[in-house]
Structure 1
Amino acid sequence: MLDPRANPHFRGHESAVAALHHAAMSGRLHHGWLISGQPGIGKATLAFRFARWLLAGESSADLSVPETAPVFRRVAAGTHPDLFTVERRVNVKTERLQSEIVIATVQEASAFMRLTPAEGGWRVVVIDGAEDMNPNAANALLKVLEEPPARAILLLVSSAPGRLLPTIRSRCRALPLAPLPETDMAALLAAYAPDLGGEEHARLVRLAEGSIGTALSLAEDGIAVAGLVDEVLAAPVSPARAQAIADNVARAVEGVDKFDTFMTLLRAGLAAHTRAAARAGQPAAQLAGRVALWQEFAKLEHEVLGLNLDKRAAVIVALSQLHRT
């Protein structure tokens, strides 16, 4: 799957696209937008698509910019002078990915926003994974939202907006994205993975539940991981079986690491179960426990990948938490 900065493919989310287009064309573009939704449905792709469109001074209703345009190429390469991306970075001392977005990164973005646009248009900051900000970084961002510079816009991308400060959410215009319908999923899979067989293609569409990112991860890492997730969500597993699953997930085969796929599918499955429980009238306290567990799984995955921790131990911890819930 292409990096969101360089991805020309975008389908669905018509109401979100229309809201961004209308706000920009009306001259009343809000200074902060919170683009939220489940992982892998195109949130970051939409953010960079809108950033390119703003920086190019386009007017197309679908926010498209030709791939041949200089703006498209510079955004893809990360060299446009009026675009700044905030995300977890590699620690120069440890050479490992940070487990959170730190205040220094947000302060860089704040200083960037207060500069005069180099090309006379907008200054755009995309915060990818906004829920990863630590408290100091979040408070630094809040100051920018309270006193936004002219001709500058913040695009926050988040899979867990509930982890953001309420004051940050209240100062942004909410733009929630729904899971992609099967027709859009099928079209995107055909574009990204044209060599998939028809049966595998259809199964991926069903398993991914509206997340093209999840579908492509499954195509790369093997559908068998989905079977393990189905197993642990269906009923508690024994300690011995939990250890066997952890061994399977943590073992890299031919350079493929299944841990990220397993955790992504585990969160997606837990979210689906929670929605079903809510529709069935389960008590709010039990639903809150499921939501908290979803957030814990996201935090656990970030810490493991960011700090290079033991993936096998992390899977066992996750299965133990799932069993207790």
Structure 2
Amino acid sequence: MSVTEHPEPDKVEGAPHPRETKRLIGQDAAEAAFLDAFNSGRLHHAWLLTGPRGVGKATLGWSIARFLLATPDGDDDGGLFGDAPSKPISLKIDLEHLVARRIMAGSDPGLKVIRRGGAGSTDSDREKNLRDGKFSKDIRISEIRELTPFLSLSATEGGRRVVIVDAADEMNVQAANALLKMLEEPPAKTTMLLVAHQPSRLLPTIRSRCRELRLSPLSPANMAAALEQADVAVEPGQQEGLAALSGGSVGEAVRLINLGGLEIYAELVGLLGDLPKLDRSRALKLAEAVATRGAEEKLDLLIALIEIFLARMARAGALGHAEAQEGAGGEAALFARVAPNAQVARRWAELAEKLGGRIRHGRAVNLDPAALILDTILKIRDTAAG
């Protein structure tokens, strides 16, 4: 049973919340590194969980939380006859364990989760917006201050304690400075887990006080296993395209499925398939389809897919087209024709960087979305024309 009935800022639509995920897939190295620190008695008080969005950082954080709160401290030298206790070889805790059930219900006294709250300037507005799924754009100092009473518990009162901050790179300046003070004077038996999609956005002083666990993109096989575990239906023949376009991120794969990303990418490849020739009316139709009211998510997805398309084309040309996969939209023949070698590939890489800046600026100043997309497609055509 879910801990809450209202929307949550750290949940991907169409997938279970990380606390509900049964097992971490494809991140054995990160799990082993944490267990090695735990078993050797060198458990750091703060861990920075980094890597691309959607590869399992939050799942790892919740797995560590369950493990720490359900596993004896290890302070005793041995059991009844003085024999040393066995060292854990996995973070896995049975979801029927009392601690796991309390965490699922949001009632374990040893765990505190910090994330974006409801938007608004008053308590009543924030509470209402939280129920409606209208979240603040960042983690504010008011959320960080919720840690004060939690961390003030003595070890005898609260036992081992775990804090999850998801995502730490969403903290504003005031919140980051408040968290830094807590990291500088960590309470005993407290472990802080900071999930960060872009760790470079964190204060250097925060990063320096954490031990980093970097998670890697999932392989196609692990991606398929993770989607199956999340009960996400994948159509036959989609696995290869999802793995290619998601960058090994389960979260991104779910977003592609939810928004029809594979179909949009296939349409993009089809539109550009005759470069430098271009069906302008087809281009306009694609641009207008994501420019309607309520289509903001599809607009952002199309922009991301254009960037992915250009990056894959540049990489394919530089690497001899080893990156072009038919399963990602039938792009292999197109890439071989318009990016035949490393020299031309460099031109596409430069265009990708330039267009990325133009698109971000256009979005920032609220340019007409259809015009922005059409202009981007025309720039691609002009580059193909040489």
Scaled to the shorter chain, the TM-score interval is 0.7 to 0.9
2:55 corresponding residue in structure 1:
41
Q: CA deviation at 1:3?
A: 0.1
- Pairs within 5 Å for 1:105-116: 105-116=143-154
- AA aligned opposite 1:258: K
- AA aligned opposite 2:125: K
- AA aligned opposite 1:126: I
Q: 2:27 aligns with which of 2, 6, 13?
A: 13
1:226 corresponding residue in structure 2:
265
- Pairs within 5 Å for 1:115-126: 115-117=153-155, 120-126=158-164
Q: Aligned residues: percent identity?
A: 37
Matched, 1:68 2:96: yes
The gaps in structure 1 that reach 5 residues or longer are 304-309
2:7 corresponding residue in structure 1:
none
Distance 1:276 1:201, change over 3 A: closer
- AA aligned opposite 2:298: K
Q: How many residues align?
A: 309
Give the root-mean-square deviation of aligned CA atoms. Answer: 4.3
What secondary structure is seen at the aligned counterpart in 2 of 1:153?
strand
Partners of 1:275 and 1:101 in 2: CA distance = 36
Q: CA deviation at 1:80?
A: 1.4
Greater shift after overlay, 76-85 or 194-203? 194-203
Q: CA deviation at 1:57?
A: 1.0
Q: 2:64 aligns with which of 46, 50, 72?
A: 50
Partners of 1:118 and 1:232 in 2: CA distance = 65
Partners of 2:314 and 2:163 in 1: CA distance = 33
1:192 corresponding residue in structure 2:
230
1:307 corresponding residue in structure 2:
none
- Pairs within 5 Å for 1:135-214: 135-193=173-231, 195-214=233-252
Matched, 1:248 2:262: no
2:77 corresponding residue in structure 1:
none
Matched, 1:77 2:117: no
What secondary structure is seen at the aligned counterpart in 2 of 1:85?
strand
What secondary structure is seen at the aligned counterpart in 2 of 1:258?
helix
- AA aligned opposite 2:184: E
Asked if the contact 1:6/1:72 (under 8 Å) is kept, the reply is: no
- Pairs within 5 Å for 1:18-29: 18-29=32-43
Partners of 2:258 and 2:211 in 1: CA distance = 35
What secondary structure is seen at the aligned counterpart in 2 of 1:199?
coil
Q: CA deviation at 1:314?
A: 7.1
**TM-score, normalization by structure 2:** 0.65
The gaps in structure 2 that reach 5 residues or longer are 1-14, 73-86, 320-341, 380-386
Distance 1:320 1:123, change over 3 A: farther
2:327 corresponding residue in structure 1:
none
Asked if the contact 2:232/2:254 (under 8 Å) is kept, the reply is: no
Q: CA deviation at 1:75?
A: 1.5
What secondary structure is seen at the aligned counterpart in 1 of 2:100?
helix
Partners of 1:290 and 1:4 in 2: CA distance = 33
